[in-house]
Structure 1
Amino acid sequence: MCKRLHSRIVVCLLFAFFCSVNVSFADEKLNISGFGRLVAGYLDDNNVSFEGYTNELTFSEQSLLAIQADYQLTDTVSVTSQLLAHNNAERDSGIEWFYLSYQPNANWLFKAGKMRTPFYHYSDVMDVGFAYAWISPPQQLYSAFLFNQYEGISGIHRFALGPVSASVELYTGSYNGDTSFQQKRYPTDIDNLRGIVLNALVGGNLKLRSSFITADFSLDLEEITTFANILRGAGFVESANSLTMEGEFDIYQAGAIYEEFDYHLAWEWMKISSKTILAPKITSYYVQGGYVFDPITVNLTFANLITSEVETANEIPFGVNPGLDQLFIAYNTTLQRTKASDLKSVTLGVRWDAGVNVAFKAEVTHYQGGIGISTFEALSESAAFAFDERANLYQIGMEFVF
């Protein structure tokens, strides 16, 4: 607690320092900007939690404040740093971005340092709620399974083909930190991260995006590792190996956004493949439509997450003796507790742009899905049996940029 409080105090002091630099020196090479959000949410089921929300109103899950400093070192070299103060206990406050950019001309851009991992269409602005229609982007894609930052290098080449403006990005790097889900934090190592992103703007209205990412990963779930060692010691090596939390994952993504003055349509799809019980194969997508009654925007989103069945080793005999029966039950219980669950949702949202830099939002999301490592978490063992796999999440929020 003291460490987290100290971290937030440091961030606030840095905010004050950067703002004072901007006011006092007005350096033309330094550009200061920022954003924030104040979000309240309530889940109408007392048996489970979802993304930290329970049946008690809370402001702590998504409220944040951030400031970004861009300093132009030369005509072609700049440095960018983003500091973020978050109210969520599962997310650290501090430096979110810190990278060096080199842009030799209008067609090429190279970056090196700590950057946002470009998994999705809204990756770069995932914390900037003012930049999109939702309060919460569809959890089926914008999942805690994935890590938000990486340390490495990237290169972007921009080009035009007739009415199409496009870019291709290649990047590589690593990540060493924590992955958070179900209100727990797990040490995570990502190595040999490699990816490619293709973006295109067609005719000024249609945005297209596709990407491919691959990496080696190691996730430390201590309770699973301990149990796997017990199985290995008992001679059930195949069962122990099936509980591995390390290997390789591949991620495929595609999306499209069509925008007119008074309406917009969006679709995004992702497939995650690996050989672990945590996420053996996950396919997710959303479709969204919005209509503008200036300054009010109404949007409707359907999202879906589909998981594959976990292939169990099934080598532990049952009914031979009580000791083996306990191992058999414990193994299957571990599989159930660590597997991902299917999840469907329908979200109705309203946004009011009260000014050029302030927006107010309200939305309700109806979820249908089981208890899983990335979906609902039972608040007690008895609550798990009482949960009917349906819940509504109500949220209101204020978004601003400066």
Structure 2
Amino acid sequence: MFFSLVRNRRQLISDVTISIAIVAVYLMALPAMAEVKFNGFATIAVTTHSNDDILYRSSLVNRPRTSPSLAPDSVLGGQINYYINDRWDAVAQVVIQDRADTAISNYLEMGFLRYRPTRNWAFKFGRVNSNLYMLSEYKPVGYAQVWARPPLEFYSNASVVSNVDGIEVVHSQNIGDGFLELGIIAGQSQPRLKGSDGKLRANFKELISLSARYTWNEWQFKSTYARGRVDNPQIPQFDLFEQAVAAVPSELLPQKSELLSRFSGDGDIIKYLAGGMKYDGERWNVQAEAGSVDVDWLLFTSLRFGYVSVAYYMDEFSPFLAVSGAQSKDKEFRFSIPSFPAGTPPELAAGIVGLITGSNANISDLLVDQYSLSAGVNWHFYPSWVAKAQLDHIRMDNPGTGLFGNNALIDDVGQERMNVFTLSVSTVF
């Protein structure tokens, strides 16, 4: 069935983006004050996990992997800043990681032209960071984080929309002893997700994101609200499912239209809300975020998620602890098996029961009820280099393995446990 797909993504380049690129090329041809800077980052990590029935991945857009593997948490990235003059610059960032869908656009994290008319205003045109979470600006940069990976119960789902093709407007100013940054993004995003049945393209149109960040001494606070519309998603084998449902008379399948609409997702409104805080002092690092996603589309279950992390700086060593969790908001929803009138052919009744049972099994498999306790230490053993060790104990309760993959469709996970151990080395250059 098409429902066993497990997420990946791709971006379409619109005519507007192409026009912006042409303008950018023209501006870059101006000799004026042009200056180019390149920055890179890399993480090499080996990850092992203890559950043979579940395939680990660090993000919904990455490939589920067996254990041990270098792929899930290893990253290589680079960013070019082209300073055209004191008001115009262009930015491109490429991040190579374990994407399940290997389209080239999946590795272009950012590519925009920026205009700064004053020190307080900035306008970006092109592929911009979605700015949905506290680590938006440096999530792939392992060196900049205390953990071996960001808490996956929060970031696995939230990072599905890591960038937006459109326009971003940012206003920043000093407020008291702190610094306030307000942003609005308008555009579209097309995550490319992938599972055993093929690729899913989740088109999010009319996407609007509002964010506020306030920095005061060692403190940082952030809140984000985003809203978009699911538009004509491409779902593997959905045509076959649609034909099977359409062939059943309505009197034998009262939930016929709901089955099609809840799985197709077309036209559904998706809403995202998140907030976070961070304290980064001389000795302590404390960070927490919480968020939620609301959508009727069953292939993107509505979730609440969050984490709390504490780290202690001991010269070059920093031990840390983190607790994180994610839970589907409606774990009990299932389609009911209808009552068949007398005289219904047994073969037809069995086919309808199989259709409902299979749909419910796929709903269960995509749901999330997962919590992690993480502990580790990082060691800054050399300037611009850090080594990390992290152990996660993950508890998955009934009913699904939505954040991970599995070797076979699981109708009812029950209570699964998994330990994940990661050793990594990160650098910036």
- With the shorter chain as reference, the TM-score category is 0.7 to 0.9
The equivalent residue for 2:52 is: 46
After superposition, residues 273-284 of structure 1 pair within 5 angstroms as 273-284=294-305
**Structure 1 pair 273/88, CA: closer, same or farther in 2 (3 Å)?**
closer
Q: Which has the higher contact order (CA 8 A, sep 6+)?
A: 2
The answer to whether structure 1 residue 380 and structure 2 residue 411 are counterparts is no
- 1:350 is matched with which residue: 368, 371, 377? 377
Matched residues in 1 for 2:52 and 2:85: separation?
56
Matched residues in 1 for 2:210 and 2:128: separation?
15
Can you list the C-alpha shifts for 1:173-223, whole angstroms capped at 9, x where unaligned? Answer: 112351346896412211000010000012x01100001000011433323
**Count of residues paired in the alignment:** 374
Matched residues in 2 for 1:184 and 1:291: separation?
44
Q: Which range moves more in the overlay, 122-131 or 80-89?
A: 80-89
Matched residues in 2 for 1:226 and 1:170: separation?
40
Contact kept? 1:224, 1:334, Cα under 8 Å = no
Higher strand share: 1
Gaps of 5+ in 2: 1-32, 58-62, 251-255
Contact kept? 2:83, 2:89, Cα under 8 Å = yes
**Structure 1 pair 183/36, CA: closer, same or farther in 2 (3 Å)?**
farther
**Structure 1 pair 95/277, CA: closer, same or farther in 2 (3 Å)?**
closer
The answer to whether structure 1 residue 264 and structure 2 residue 285 are counterparts is yes
- 1:58 is matched with which residue: 55, 66, 69? 69
The equivalent residue for 1:137 is: 150
Q: Match of 1:222, SS?
A: coil
Gaps of 5+ in 1: 1-26
Q: CA deviation at 1:322?
A: 4.1
Q: CA deviation at 1:157?
A: 0.6
- 2:135 is matched with which residue: 109, 122, 125? 122
Can you list the C-alpha shifts for 1:140-184, whole angstroms capped at 9, x where unaligned? Answer: 221256222211011111122212311100110112351346896
- 1:107 is matched with which residue: 113, 116, 120? 120
Q: Match of 1:243, SS?
A: helix
Q: Which range moves more in the overlay, 344-353 or 364-373?
A: 364-373
Q: CA deviation at 1:78?
A: 0.3
TM-score normalised to structure 2 length: 0.80
Q: Which range moves more in the overlay, 248-257 or 314-323?
A: 314-323
- 2:260 is matched with which residue: 236, 240, 244? 240
Matched residues in 1 for 2:328 and 2:392: separation?
21
- 2:338 is matched with which residue: 310, 316, 324? 316
RMSD: 2.5
After superposition, residues 2-401 of structure 1 pair within 5 angstroms as 29-51=35-57, 52=63, 54-92=65-103, 94-144=107-157, 146-180=160-194, 185-202=199-216, 204-218=217-231, 219-234=233-248, 235=250, 236-246=256-266, 247-309=268-330, 311-314=333-336, 316-317=338-339, 321-338=346-363, 339-370=366-397, 372=400, 374-380=402-408, 388-401=415-428
Contact kept? 2:43, 2:74, Cα under 8 Å = yes
Q: Match of 1:241, SS?
A: helix
Matched residues in 1 for 2:237 and 2:208: separation?
30
Q: CA deviation at 1:114?
A: 0.9
Letter in 1 for 2:362: R
Letter in 2 for 1:69: I
Q: Match of 1:391, SS?
A: strand
Letter in 1 for 2:83: Q
**Structure 1 pair 388/275, CA: closer, same or farther in 2 (3 Å)?**
closer
